[in-house]
Every structure is written in structure tokens, then in C-alpha cells.
């Protein structure tokens, strides 16, 4: 008895290192490593495609900068200064080799370093996305579990209606509506945002409306998926019947058994969705004047600021790839079937 206890205690502090060892040596990490390797050509493909498209757009950057009245000579001089008269491949190679050194180039428009420009904007976007994601996930799980308790009950049908609405409403319409209701009419929340300034508290308030605009659509997708998954587990899986047959209380069956196994699917979805989320940011940020990465994108495209567009695209693509990677990894860490292989019996 004492021996068994001692053995148990020996497990506890060592468990952390034990887990780490298992994960590191596991097929999971090898899978992740493989994914990372395949991600590199994908990233390259994305940057190349963007560069090609941006470069083949009609319209002259120098002309846009100088305005309509510029002379051809001035345009040519500026083009030469910006290096825009070099052939495509030279320009791309130049940019790419800079990228490999971590330098994203210089913005054509305001001559600021793209690195520093994005560096300033990135935290804002990150906070917005994080804020939105966190609140959405908490709400999603809560609503999905409550809905799954009584499938086709009142709460379930209500949440289904709300999530259908969330899926169907265009983000810009939602943004306008939120501004109208909470901003002009009720005057609860500020309509436009700004930089963090001196008051983080107020800054968070200004981020609330854009976070809601982002989050509502997310909430709908996540809640639907999780609820469907939980209900599926509860109704079709045999281990649920076993749990019930043991006499386990319904709330524990729902939470410890069904929901716990459904969270996988949700985490995977969050990872895979990260790319789409970033894309939505590009529309939401300008509407609320949030000075993040997305806000810069549309303006940059308009003025053919290729380095800036490329820089933003690189960030977006990186986030997407990382999201996919996270989704795969989470499976490996959380699903014991992958974490521990078959043992010899």
C-alpha cells in the first residue's frame, strides 16, 4: 500500500518532464516538423503570387505619388529612384533576399520602413483579434453546452436562430448596425478607435465594437459546430451509453465525456479559421478606424505600395500557416491516441 502510494507520488513531479519527453519524441512533433517544411513553399508561393499580381496591375506608382500634373521626366526620375524601372525578376529577387534577412523593405509612399510600420500596427491588430477570440470562445462553449443539454429545446432553437443570423449578416452591415445602435443611439460605446494612448481602459472600450463585429460571425460558426458535435457524441457514441449505464449524472456525462471530446474539433477549427479571421480584420478595422494592419492594406493596394502590401501579405500568410500548424499540433497533444501509440501487450 505504501509502496503504491510512493509510486504514485513519484509520478506527480516527474509527470511534467515525462510528458515533455513523450511529446518531443512522439510522431506528433515529427508530423508538425513535416508540416512546417511544406509550409515554406506555400509561403513562398503566396509572396510570389502577390508580387506578380501587384506588379502586373496597370497604373504607375510614381504617377500616383506625384499626381496628375507631373511631367513624364519627373515620373521617370521617381521610378528610377524607387527602382521601379528594373525588370520584374530583379525587383522580386531584391525584395525576396531582403525578406530572408528579415527586412521587409521600405514603403513607397511614406518612405518609412515596412518593418517598423507593421511593427507599430501589429500589436493593435493582435489585441483586437485576441480580445475578440477569447470572448467569443468563452461564449461559444457556454452556449453550445447549454443548447446541447436539451436538443431541439427552446434554448437550442433560440441559439440556432441567433447563429443563423450571425452567419448571414455581412460584416460591414453588422459593423454599421453596431455603430448605429451602440454608438449613435444608445451612446454606450465609442464608434471609432485610436491608438492605445495613455488609458488602456478606454482603449479597450474602443476596441469593443470592432471585436463584436468580428466576433459575432465567429461565435455563430463555433457555436453551431460545437453544439452539433456535442449532440452527435451524446446521441451516437457508444461510450456515452456506457457512461449513462454506470449511473453517471447527466451533467457529468455532458461535460466530462461529450464536451471534452468535442473540444478537439473546435480547437482545430479555430486554428484553420485563423486565416479567414485575419482577412475579415482588413474590412473591419477601417470601418472603426482601428490603426492596425488590416486598415493599412486597402490603402496600400490603392496606391500600389508593393512593399507594404507584400509585408502585410507575408504577415497574413504566416498567421494562416501558423494557425494550421497549431490545429495539427493541438490534435497531437490533446488526443491520447496520437500522443501515446499502441503499447506492446
Partner 1 sequence: MAAQLPSAAMIPGAPPLLPPLVSSRRLRAQSLSRTLRLWVPAGLLILLAGMCFLLPIIITIPPPTGGSILDANAPLFSPGHILGADPVGNDVFSRICYGGRIAFEVSLAVTAIGMASGCLIGITAGYFGGWVDTILSRVLDVLIAFPALVLTIAIAEGLQPSEFHTILALLVFSVPAFGRISRAATLAVRELPFILAARLSGTGGWRVMVRHVVPNIVPSIATFSLLGIGIVIIIEGALDFLGYGIQPPAPSWGNMIAQGQTVMDVQPQYVLVPSLFLLAMVVAVNALGDALRERWGVR
Partner 2 sequence: MSDTLLDTGTLLKVAGLRVAFALGGRQIHAVNGVSYSVAQRQTLAIIGESGSGKTVSCRALLGLLPSTATVAGSAQFRGTELIGLSDAQLRKHRGTDIAMVFQDPARSLNPTMRVGAQITEAIRTHRQLSKAEAREQAIELLRLVRMPAAERRFHEYPHQLSGGMRQRVMIAIALACRPRLLIADEATTALDVTTQAQIMELLLDLQDQLGMSLIMISHDLGLAASYADEVIVMYGGKVVEQAPSAKLFGVGGAVRMRYTRALLDAIPHLERPAHTLLPVVGGRPPDLSALPEGCSFAPRCAHARDDCRQAEPELAEHVPGHRWACWHPCENGAAPHD
Q: Which residues bind partner 1 (CB under 8 A)?
A: 38, 41-43, 45-46, 49-50, 53-54, 56-59, 164-165, 167-173, 176-177, 179-180, 184, 228, 232, 275, 278-279, 282-283, 297-298, 301-302, 309, 312-313, 316-317, 320-321
CB 298, min distance to partner 1, A: 7
Measured from the CB atom, is 242 or 289 closer to partner 2? 242
Measured from the CB atom, is 15 or 173 closer to partner 1? 173
Measured from the CB atom, is 38 or 345 closer to partner 2? 345
For 210, counting Cβ atoms within 10 Å of its Cβ (0-12 exposed, 13-18 middle, 19+ buried), the class is buried
Measured from the CB atom, is 258 or 309 closer to partner 2? 258
Three-state DSSP at 57 gives coil
Among the residue ranges 64-72, 256-264, 265-273, 300-308, the one whose residues contact partner 2 (CB under 8 A): 256-264
CB 317, min distance to partner 2, A: 33
Cα gap 259→248, rounded to integer Å: 15
Three-state DSSP at 109 gives coil
Q: Which among 158, 151, 140, 178 has a CA at the least distance from the CA of 262?
A: 140
Cα gap 300→278, rounded to integer Å: 16
Measured from the CB atom, is 8 or 185 closer to partner 2? 8
| Block residue for cell numbers 518612405 | 111
Neighbours of 187 (CB within 10 A): 9
The reply to whether 247 sits near partner 2 by the rule CB under 8 A is yes
Three-state DSSP at 334 gives helix
Q: Give the angle 122-31-273 at the CA atoms, nearest 5°.
A: 40
Q: Which residues bind partner 2 (CB under 8 A)?
A: 1, 4-5, 151, 235, 237-239, 241-250, 256-257, 260-261, 334-337, 340, 342-343, 345
Amino acid at each position: 500500500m505504501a509502496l503504491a502510494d510512493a509510486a504514485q507520488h513519484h509520478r506527480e513531479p516527474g509527470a511534467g518532464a515525462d510528458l515533455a519527453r513523450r511529446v518531443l519524441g512522439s510522431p506528433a512533433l515529427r508530423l508538425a516538423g513535416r508540416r512546417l517544411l511544406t509550409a515554406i513553399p506555400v509561403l513562398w508561393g503566396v509572396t510570389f503570387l502577390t508580387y506578380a499580381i501587384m506588379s502586373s496591375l496597370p497604373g504607375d506608382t510614381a504617377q500616383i505619388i506625384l499626381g496628375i500634373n507631373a511631367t513624364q521626366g519627373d515620373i521617370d526620375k521617381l521610378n528610377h529612384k524607387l527602382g521601379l524601372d528594373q525588370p520584374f525578376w530583379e525587383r522580386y529577387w531584391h525584395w525576396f533576399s531582403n525578406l530572408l534577412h528579415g527586412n521587409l523593405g521600405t514603403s513607397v509612399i511614406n518612405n518609412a520602413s515596412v518593418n517598423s510600420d507593421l511593427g507599430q500596427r501589429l500589436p493593435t491588430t493582435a489585441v483586437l483579434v485576441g480580445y475578440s477570440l477569447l470572448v467569443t470562445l468563452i461564449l461559444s462553449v457556454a452556449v453550445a453546452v447549454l443548447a446541447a443539454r436539451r436538443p431541439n429545446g427552446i434554448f437550442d432553437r433560440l441559439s440556432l436562430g441567433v447563429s443563423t443570423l450571425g452567419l448571414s449578416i455581412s460584416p460591414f452591415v453588422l459593423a454599421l448596425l453596431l455603430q448605429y445602435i451602440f454608438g449613435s443611439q444608445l451612446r454606450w460605446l465609442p464608434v471609432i478607435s485610436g491608438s492605445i494612448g495613455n488609458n488602456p481602459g478606454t482603449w479597450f472600450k474602443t476596441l469593443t465594437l470592432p471585436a463584436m463585429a468580428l466576433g459575432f460571425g465567429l461565435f455563430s460558426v463555433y457555436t453551431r459546430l460545437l453544439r452539433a458535435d456535442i449532440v452527435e457524441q451524446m446521441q451516437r457514441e457508444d461510450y456515452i451509453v456506457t457512461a449513462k449505464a454506470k449511473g453517471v449524472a447527466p451533467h457529468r456525462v455532458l461535460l466530462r465525456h461529450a464536451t471534452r471530446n468535442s473540444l478537439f474539433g473546435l480547437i482545430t477549427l479555430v486554428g484553420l479559421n485563423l486565416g479567414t479571421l485575419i482577412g475579415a480584420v482588413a474590412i473591419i478595422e477601417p470601418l472603426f478606424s482601428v490603426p492596425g494592419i488590416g486598415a493599412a492594406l486597402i490603402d496600400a493596394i490603392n496606391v500600389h505600395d508593393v512593399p507594404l502590401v507584400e509585408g502585410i501579405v507575408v504577415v497574413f500568410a504566416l498567421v494562416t500557416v501558423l494557425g494550421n500548424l497549431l490545429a495539427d499540433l493541438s490534435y497531437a497533444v490533446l488526443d491520447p491516441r496520437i500522443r501515446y501509440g499502441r503499447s506492446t501487450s
